[in-house]
Amino acid sequence: MTYTLDETLGIERRGENLFASHTDQKYWNLIGPYGGWIAALMLKTVLHDLEDRRFEPVAFTVDFMKAPKEGELILRRTCARAGRTAAFWRVELEMPDGTPCARALLTLAPHRETMVFSQTRMPEVPEAMKVEPFETSVLPVKWAHLYETRVIKGAIGQVTADSQSLVWVRDADKRPLDHVSLAAISDSPFPRLFLATGRPSNISTITMTTYFHAPSKELQDIGSDLILADARCERSVGGFYDQHTSFYSSAGELVAVSQQMVWYDREA
């Protein structure tokens, strides 16, 4: 089976570390591609032909500089250093005229058998299938229709005093989870500003970092199950707010953590 995300992430080699791709209206936001789709494309640019499959994503930062126009995209990648314990890559995305759109830093490393510890616990929430699916057709952005979301707290149009949301989420076509789709899902939580005000406003994520805690084997075990997105905001001031999201498997394991800084209209 071919899944929607994979259909839209076509990569054509143009040189040793030079690639071309193309935007897709399926993952369109208001003025350009969905940020999670951009992140997934840049991550795939490194992973799709990686020779040593023991190396997996552990940290990934994307700076969104300008929304690409519809059409061709150019991607350039560079391996700054590859050692025994980690490899460090840089990916740049631009339009054909050279206009920079995004830049990313990706850290890869092999996972080892070590002690496991964590102070983080998944919130107590209803099982995913006991929560009604959210009707995404009411949302004006196309990419949101490609996700199945089951909202426990923080639905669009509601005001939450703490700006927290709890949402079960997965690809609507039940694509099995991997690091590429997880990079896309990392940008999926509703904007904190919408929950604080109860209305939409002009916003733009300027940077997003995702820490991947689950190795590939753990993601394969999750498969096409829904994962829980626990999103919150520490502070909003001066036209910027942060958004922190912890993603958990239905078994309660922390899968990834996403951190964003988001620009918004001062008048919001």
Q: How does pLDDT run across 83-96, given as a tens digit for each residue?
A: 999 999 999 999 99
Q: How does pLDDT run across 189-246, given as a tens digit for each residue?
A: 999 998 888 888 889 999 999 999 999 999 999 999 999 999 999 999 999 999 999 9
Dihedral angle over CA of 82, 57, 211, 76, nearest 10: 70
- H-helix or E-strand spanning residue 240: strand 240-248
Give residue 232's pLDDT: 95
Can you identify the CATH homologous superfamily of domain 4-110+130-264? Acyl-CoA thioesterase, double hotdog domain (2.40.160.210)
Distance CA 250, CA 130 (A): 13
Full DSSP string of 77-91: EEEEEE-SS-EEEEE
